[in-house]
A = this chain, B = another copy of it.
């Protein structure tokens, strides 16, 4: 039985091998992804993002555990290199990780610190597809919520949870990080700390001021959790389920799938164009341009334009 078939049957070792294969971006990898693609689109993809220190990983852990208790299978894709899912962090997190990783119904993959052809967003999207095809029902994608790439990755989810915590210096860090607009659910984690209610109030006030959808649109709830004690998690799962039902019922899911598809197509096209062009560039011309750039005779943009002069069908 080939690797694709094994992944489709939910074989964990095959899934791990497929993820590594996909990261290689070999022709074989692209074939495998193409074969898996018709079997994707079933999982509920949930982004968990927020500023450093908000407890995203612990929340993802608690959510995964609760989902498992409800009988659902869970994938976790950690994009944050400082996440415990990426192998680091505090002892408490490591113990939680061990607990999760013994569970056959959970698959964890860290995207940290690997070289990713075509960028991390493309690679993360591919990893999510593999987990989706392997039959996992909910896929949590944890991103650090700092840096444009990470916000892009969060945007690829069906449901985006933005996590805040009191005492990070500001109740509404999400607004600065460009996360406010992409939140479907707000969570104020570490809600046993001073300032939690103020953070909730600040977020609610911001929400009432923003151009919230009217009528039957989704109104992002603001929840309180204490992820280390697994408090507030069932309300979070309820909100995730409610949002998933809203997406399905309103046609919004089709819209988001389509938007994600378009972004993926654009990214794949960009990566493919660049790769095909680079293998064709005349080495002498390339070196000559590098020398001119080094001598400050031409800037890189202008050099790129000169390279494209030999592509008349792409004339500006």
A residues in contact (CB < 8 Å) with B: 30, 33-34, 36-41, 51-53, 79-82, 86-90, 93, 112-113, 116, 119-120, 129, 143-144, 146-151, 169-170, 173, 176-178, 254, 257-258, 261-262, 264-274, 276-278, 280, 289-290, 293-294, 296-305, 307-308, 311, 313-316
Question: Which of B30, B178, B305, B311 is close to A301, meaning CB atoms less than 8 Å apart?
Answer: B30
B304 touches A268 (CB 8 A): yes
Residues of B within 8 A of A314 (CB): 273, 276-277, 280
A274 touches B264 (CB 8 A): no
B265 touches A293 (CB 8 A): yes
A270 touches B274 (CB 8 A): yes
| A51 vs B144: C-alpha distance when bound (angstroms) | 11
Residues of B within 8 A of A143 (CB): 147
B173 touches A148 (CB 8 A): no
Question: Which of B119, B148, B173, B265 is close to A300, meaning CB atoms less than 8 Å apart?
Answer: B265
| A37 vs B254: C-alpha distance when bound (angstroms) | 46
A34 touches B302 (CB 8 A): yes
How many identical subunits does the complex contain?
Answer: 2
Distance (Å) between the CB of A31 and the closest chain B CB?
A: 9
CB-CB nearest 10 A-B residue pairs = A52-B52, A37-B299, A113-B178, A264-B300, A268-B304, A261-B293, A270-B274, A90-B169, A147-B147, A269-B304
Question: Which of B37, B81, B119 is close to A296, meaning CB atoms less than 8 Å apart?
Answer: B37
> In the complex, what residue of chain B is closest to A257 when comparing beta carbons?
B294
Beyond A88-B170, A146-B81, whether A261 also contacts B112 by CB under 8 A is no
Question: Which of B149, B173, B270, B303 is close to A268, meaning CB atoms less than 8 Å apart?
Answer: B303
Distance (Å) between the CB of A85 and the closest chain B CB?
A: 11
Question: Which of B34, B112, B147, B315 is close to A178, meaning CB atoms less than 8 Å apart?
Answer: B112
A-B contact list, 29 entries, CB within 8 Å: A36-B299, A37-B298, A38-B296, A51-B52, A52-B52, A80-B146, A81-B147, A81-B178, A82-B146, A82-B173, A88-B169, A89-B169, A89-B170, A112-B178, A113-B177, A113-B178, A119-B149, A129-B299, A144-B147, A146-B146, A149-B149, A261-B293, A268-B300, A269-B304, A269-B307, A270-B273, A273-B273, A273-B277, A277-B314
